[in-house]
Amino acid sequence: MTFTIVMSLAIAIIVGVAVAFAVTISKGYDYKHTIDSHPDDDDSSHTKS
Confidence of residue 47 (pLDDT cuts 50, 70, 90): low
Cα separation values, 30 from 23, 33, 41, Å: 11, 9, 29
Per-domain residue ranges of the chain: 1-27
pLDDT, tens only, 18-40: 999 999 999 999 888 788 888 77
Confidence bin at 8 (pLDDT 50/70/90): very high
Q: Flag whether pLDDT at 11 surpasses 90.
A: yes
pLDDT of residue 23: 97
State residue 49's pLDDT score. 52
For residues 6 and 12, is the Cβ–Cβ distance under 8 A? no
pLDDT of the residue at 34:
85
